[in-house]
Amino acid sequence: MLLKKSELIGNQTIEISGSKSISNRLLILHQLFNNIEIKNLSNSQDTQLLEKALNSNSEIIDIHHAGTAMRFLASYFSIQEGKTVVLTGSERMKQRPIKFLVDALRELGAEISYLEKEGFPPLKITGKKIEKNTVTISANISSQFISSLMLIGAKLENGLEIILEGKVTSKPYLEMTLKILRTVGIANHWDGNTIKIEPIESDNHAEKHLQNIPFIVESDWSSASYFYSLAAISRETINLKSFKPYSLQGDSALREIYWDFFGVNTISEGAEAKISLLPEHYFNFPEKIVLNMNDCPDIAQTLCVTATALKIPFEITGLETLKVKETDRLLALKNELFKIGCISEITDDSIVSVKFFEPNENISIATYNDHRMAMSFAPYCLVKEINIENEDVVEKSYPDFWTDLKKIIETKA
């Protein structure tokens, strides 16, 4: 996707599809309890793959690159009594560790075996009735492992008590899962290092108290990050729908981050479920951005590109989970930031800018089969012409991204 040097058309409105994170959690709960009517479901490839897997009768379930689907389905299929499946994915998926989740499920009594490399997909899962109700899992790994357990907790005969060990990573995602459970009528509480999910018995009478109401999925804050970047670089207003003033999503931290460091104010219009991104024109940019993004690592790439476009030094920590995403995002980010004029250094959990310089022409960004690499670098077209390789990777989370982007930019003469 070649993006000519462009300008932003101010005050345009974009409507983003439902949150992938919320949609995926609701699909699992709908399949378990059949009590939720989901509206504004995400149109992302990840969500479509999960929905297809949940409705499949095949013994082999291939979720391609969908990491969330792999993790959520591992727990889901573990409690499907009498059903045996092979859960597999792409070659990259087979390199993404799942041992901590499998160990936790086995501790509960699940029957899971590795078909290739120990600790990695593909998995053979034979569903069975799980009677144990206490499990211990490391908290400083992917929050999706823990959410995966939480989503099946109410379906277990005795509920589920999850004991977390170590520092919690991406805490807002765990809080999101708990809030969604409560919204659909499943009692839970988080006290110290223990999360408790109360049981819902499987007979119809016991499930009647679960709310049978429509759940309208709010739009995706991770996807909104690219428009915050465009607003910050261009200093023009962008309007986004459908967003709620009080969000379940951890990536709604965007509002504070982009105000604190880039002077982009977020104005909510609750009646229209719309937010307006209003850049402050006389904002004094910071000498350096120092930020721990442990709670919202998925927007780190966008922030680094924004900072590079505006030549604001940055030191971002709390990014240990980025090394086991679709690619090693820290290494990929370091490589591609260099192409747009930023020398950076990385550790296992951080990235720091060292020096900015004037980049060469003919910039071509490798995407590493990672949707966020493609979309986070796209706003740089407001600075220079840029080519985004393998642009179709955006289908994983935001299939309409290029169409929506072209609605609000125009080529600079």
Please state, in angstroms and rounded to a whole number, the distance separating the CA atoms of residues 292 and 186. Answer: 32
> Among this protein's residues, is 298 annotated catalytic?
yes
Cβ contact 389:365 at 8 Å: yes
The helices-and-strands tally (H runs, E runs) of the chain is 12, 23
Distance between CA 32 and CA 307 in Å, rounded?
43
User: What is the DSSP code string of 300-352?
Assistant: HHHHHHHHHHTT--EEEE--GGGGGSSS-HHHHHHHHHHHTTEEEEE-SS-EE
What are the beta bridge partners of residue 238? 12, 277
Distances (CA, A) of 8 to 86, 226, 248: 47, 13, 29
Cβ-contact 412, 339 below 8 angstroms: no
CA distance 257 to 101: 32
Compute the distance between CA of residue 293 and CA of residue 8 in angstroms, rounded to an integer: 28
Q: Among residues 192, 170, 188, which one has the least CA distance to residue 178?
A: 188
Cis peptide before 376 (omega within 30 of 0): no
Active-site position among 46, 62, 298, 370 = 298
Q: How many CA atoms lie within 13 A of 239 on its CB side?
A: 10
The DSSP symbol for 82 reads: T
The residues annotated as belonging to the active site are 298
